[in-house]
Amino acid sequence: MDEAPNTSDAKSYVRTHVNIKHGMNLQIGASPVSVIDRKKSVTSAALLGGDFNAVKFDVLIGEGARVKAGEPVLRNRHRPEIVFTAPLSGNVTAVTRGTRRALQSVRVTADHEGESVKIDIPSAPGMRDVRDLMLQSGLWTTLRARPFGRIPDPDGEPKALLITAIDTSPLAPDPAFIIAEYADKFALGLDAIRKITDAPLYVCQRPGLDVPVYASEQVRIAEFEGPHPAGLPGTHIQSLCAIGFERAEVWHIGYQDVISVGHLMETGRPWFNRVVSLAGPAVLNPRLMSVPLGACIDDLVASELRGGSVRVISGSVLSGHTAFGAVAYLGQRHHQITALPEASGAKRSWWEQSVLDTGLGGEPGPLIPTGDYEAVAPPGVLPVPLLRALLVGDTERARELGALELVEEDLSLLSFICPSKTDYGPLLRHVLDELQKEVR
């Protein structure tokens, strides 16, 4: 509605420019310095069950057993070809389950021997070959499909494939810097990934980023300008390739996962590291770090934080998870660690709570439809009607208003500004679960 995509043939590929007007860039501390610290080592890493929606896991390697990096540890019970691989070599030391025996995490304690599984790469891989390579190496699990935000069906066919080479979350690392650092592997990865589908492949990025990509008619560049949520796949899908209800899917994958695919194609091993930012008001030295996948966050933030009570979050403040207990590990798709001072426990009087800062403290209230919601809503979405539909669980209305293009993270700004203190993410997930039952 607000943004008119215009296409022009600037380079050899089609370029789309989208200007996102609505949104909000939270200012919560110094940006991370663009220097990658490669000295960090961790004692353990973990696979988190919460990173994958509605997957029933079979545990292939139980507690106490040895694993090499890249060795399958978990398997999707309903799609056994989808495996989840160990992020580093060592011993499986804990398989933690939460409510209703849902898998919380599988912890691998590092032995620092660096043994890893090598996969043979065929010389000229076709579509099926690349898909199999990604499945074997565990990289398939970095793909996500909308609607519903789940790991795509290995035999499925998307309407479009999006590479998310932009990150607008507060304090996120600059993708342009990291892609430049790993330019060769990114180009290799992109070239491999485009083979998994015949559908158009969009590289979603900030304007001016020169993506190292072999010219191909299949590859298109989509430039997104504006504040957060300009970097979320939900925003990209709304703008580029809306999803209907006739089982069409859009797949998306992060830029670091593309680098990992390139690494796999070059060396036969996926990239077991990720570059993440460590930043936030409670961080002494905000910077980028190269750390193992699923790295133990307690190890990463040791002696990096200011004193006092600090909340450490894997991912952005808007959509990450608090690193605590069994899930104190880096999330699979998280590129940042945020540390905030915990709100002081000073008790306010009822007068202050109910009158002065109803937006922050106080008790849950009603949704009051001021214009604030429109100012941060995903493009083309009517926020108040959608949130109301979610509140009452009206799946049909929510679908009509665009719920299928969204996942939890797309509503995080709306949850942030809403004075009712409702977290709309779980409500959306509930509606999506209901909708998926209809599709089956």
Q: Is 402 in the site for another protein (CB under 8 A)?
A: yes
Q: Is 345 in the site for another protein (CB under 8 A)?
A: no
Distance CA 157, CA 241 (A): 14
230: left (phi over 0), alpha (psi -120 to 50) or beta: alpha
C-beta of 362: minimal distance to another protein in Å?
8
Q: Pick between residue 291 and residue 387 the one whose CB is nearest to another protein.
A: 387
Q: Pick between residue 119 and residue 375 the one whose CB is nearest to another protein.
A: 375
The residue from 98, 125, 227, 385 that contacts another protein (CB under 8 A) is 385
Q: What is the size of the binding site for another protein (CB under 8 A)?
A: 28
The residue from 401, 413, 418, 432 that contacts another protein (CB under 8 A) is 401
Contacting range for another protein; rule: CB under 8 A; set: 64-72, 73-81, 279-287, 380-388: 380-388
Q: Is 417 in the site for another protein (CB under 8 A)?
A: no
- Angle, CA 202 vertex, CA 122 and CA 223 arms, to 5°: 140
Instruction: Assess contact for 221 and 16: CB atoms under 8 A.
Output: yes
Contacting range for another protein; rule: CB under 8 A; set: 135-143, 198-206, 241-249, 285-293: 241-249
Q: Pick between residue 62 and residue 366 the one whose CB is nearest to another protein.
A: 366
Query: What type of residue is 135?
Result: L
Contacting range for another protein; rule: CB under 8 A; set: 67-75, 263-271, 288-296, 395-403: 395-403
Q: Is 352 in the site for another protein (CB under 8 A)?
A: no
Q: Is 354 in the site for another protein (CB under 8 A)?
A: yes
The answer to whether the Cα torsion of 429, 432, 437, 440 is positive or negative is: negative
> Roughly how many angstroms between the first and final C-alpha of the chain, as a whole number?
32
Provide the edge-to-edge strand list for the sheet that holds 144-146. 6-8, 14-19, 219-225, 201-205, 160-165, 250-254, 144-146
Contacting range for another protein; rule: CB under 8 A; set: 183-191, 309-317, 326-334, 396-404: 396-404
Q: Pick between residue 401 and residue 431 the one whose CB is nearest to another protein.
A: 401
Q: Is 24 in the site for another protein (CB under 8 A)?
A: no
Q: Is 365 in the site for another protein (CB under 8 A)?
A: yes
The residue from 369, 426, 438, 439 that contacts another protein (CB under 8 A) is 369
Residue 332: which of 377, 365, 291 has the closest Cα? 291
Q: Is 358 in the site for another protein (CB under 8 A)?
A: yes
Q: Which helix (H) or strand (E) holds 74?
A: strand 72-76
For the stretch 8-16, contacts whose Cβ atoms lie closer than 8 Å and that sit 24 or more positions apart, written own/partner, are 11/215, 11/221, 12/215, 13/213, 13/215, 13/216, 13/217, 13/219, 13/220, 13/221, 14/220, 14/221, 15/220, 15/221, 15/222, 15/223, 16/202, 16/220, 16/221, 16/222, 16/223, 16/240
Q: Is 245 in the site for another protein (CB under 8 A)?
A: yes
Q: Pick between residue 91 and residue 353 the one whose CB is nearest to another protein.
A: 353
The residue from 370, 426, 438, 439 that contacts another protein (CB under 8 A) is 370
Distance CA 242, CA 235 (A): 10
C-beta of 363: minimal distance to another protein in Å?
6
C-beta of 355: minimal distance to another protein in Å?
5
| Helix locations, 220-318, DSSP H | 233-240, 255-267, 297-301
Distances (CA, A) of 222 to 309, 316, 367, 374: 42, 23, 35, 24
Q: Is 439 in the site for another protein (CB under 8 A)?
A: no
Question: What residues make contact with another protein under the rule CB under 8 A?
Answer: 242-245, 350, 354-355, 358, 362-363, 365-372, 374-375, 380, 382, 384-385, 388, 400-402
